[in-house]
Structure formats: structure tokens, C-alpha cells
Amino acid sequence: MNDAMLAIRAARVADAPILCAAERETARVPGRLVSLPDELCEDAFARRIEELASAGSYLVAERDGAIVGHALLERAGPQAALAHVRSLTIVVHPGHTGQGIGTALMRALLDWARANRHVERIELRVRETNAAAIHLYGKCGFTEETRFRHRLKLADGRYLDDIGMACFPRESRP
């Protein structure tokens, strides 16, 4: 992939329909996201973009003017004891995986976190079946901390484990 063709920028409220549609499509793969397609709504994306404009980081990746991925860091909770922790969400849009987009988004988020003195820990959950994401997270300094056995129950009755991973941005360099 030619990195010059990929641009990372802050998400805008006008991006909400595209981001929602991409997550709906991603959610059609059983176990890829926790949400089901019909549980995702554009208004919620717009609200989150507005909220994170001042209290976090919400980024999109664009190639040739089209959004091909998005990622965000948001506070892990409202409690003061968690003020140093951010929760990571990243989605490379269907049809664009394996092209370095996730790596570019992760680098940009980690750069933001390193520049923000209040961010000391980043955590995430990933399905055990998502080998590409687990590889990306490991490459970016995340380590497995726990496994949530049978956390997701698929429509066919199968269970998937969630893997809890974390990194300390000032200690890890991708």
C-alpha cells in the first residue's frame, strides 16, 4: 500500500452515516463486533464524535477521499480513578483490511495518547477469532491481560471468548 495515499484526520459529525454503515457491515460477520447491525444508529455515532472532539480522540482514515477506517480512544469510565485509562475501538472498513490502515490508525492514536499526559493506559477487548486484530495489537505494544470466557453468544449458539489487552503508551513503541 502507498502510505502517501492514506490520510488520517479527525472525525466530523458529517462522517457519522459512513461510519455507522461500515460498522453495520462489519457486524454482519458473526462475532466481529458485539453489536448487531440493527443496534447501530447514526445519531449515536454523531454524538460520540461531538463528545470526543474535546474529551478524546476519534479519527478516520481516508484513501482517495473515501473513508476506509475509523478508530477512537474514549475514557474508560466517569470515575476519577479511571481518568488515566482510555478504551480503544478500531474498525477497518470491509474491503480494506490487510492494507496497513489499522496500523496507520493505531500509530496516530498512540501518538495522540503519548502527547496527552493524562493517558497512561489503553485497553481493549478483541474476539479470540480475530487473528489479524490480535496481531496488530501485539505489534503496537498491547499484551493480553485476561480472557473473558464465553463472553459472546452467537445466534447459532456458539460462544466466543473476548481477550482483554492493554498497553502503556509511554512504555511501548510500535
Whichever domain contains 7, its CATH number is 3.40.630.30
- Supply 31's cell numbers: 462475532
Question: In the chain, how many domains are there?
Answer: 1
Q: How many CB atoms lie within 10 A of CB 111?
A: 14
| Residue 61 maps to a domain | yes
Average the pLDDT over 28-52 and give the result: 89
- Residue 172, pLDDT score: 62
| Residue 138 maps to a domain | no
Report the alpha-carbon distance of residue 82 to residue 70 in Å, rounded.
24
| Residue 111 maps to a domain | yes
Is the CB of residue 162 less than 8 Å from the CB of residue 145?
Answer: no
Please say if the pLDDT value at position 3 is more than 60: no
Report the alpha-carbon distance of residue 21 to residue 27 in Å, rounded.
10
> Range of 37's domain?
3-121
**87 in helix, strand or coil?**
strand
The tens digit of pLDDT for each residue in 63-96 reads 999 999 999 999 998 889 999 999 999 999 999 9
Report the alpha-carbon distance of residue 45 to residue 12 in Å, rounded.
10
**Which residues contact residue 63 at a Cβ distance below 8 angstroms, ignoring those fewer than 6 apart?**
5, 6, 7, 96, 101
| Residue 82 maps to a domain | yes
Q: How many CB atoms lie within 10 A of CB 160?
A: 19
Considering only residues 171 and 18, tell me which one the structure prediction assigns the higher pLDDT. 18
Please say if the pLDDT value at position 170 is more than 90: no
| Residue 148 maps to a domain | no
Average the pLDDT over 159-169 and give the result: 96
pLDDT band per the 50, 70, 90 thresholds, residue 173: low
- Residue 171, pLDDT score: 81
For the chain, percent of residues with pLDDT exceeding 90: 80
Please say if the pLDDT value at position 126 is more than 50: yes
| Residue 152 maps to a domain | no
Average the pLDDT over 25-42 and give the result: 87
Which of 33, 28, 31, 27 shows the shortest CA–CA distance to 154? Answer: 31
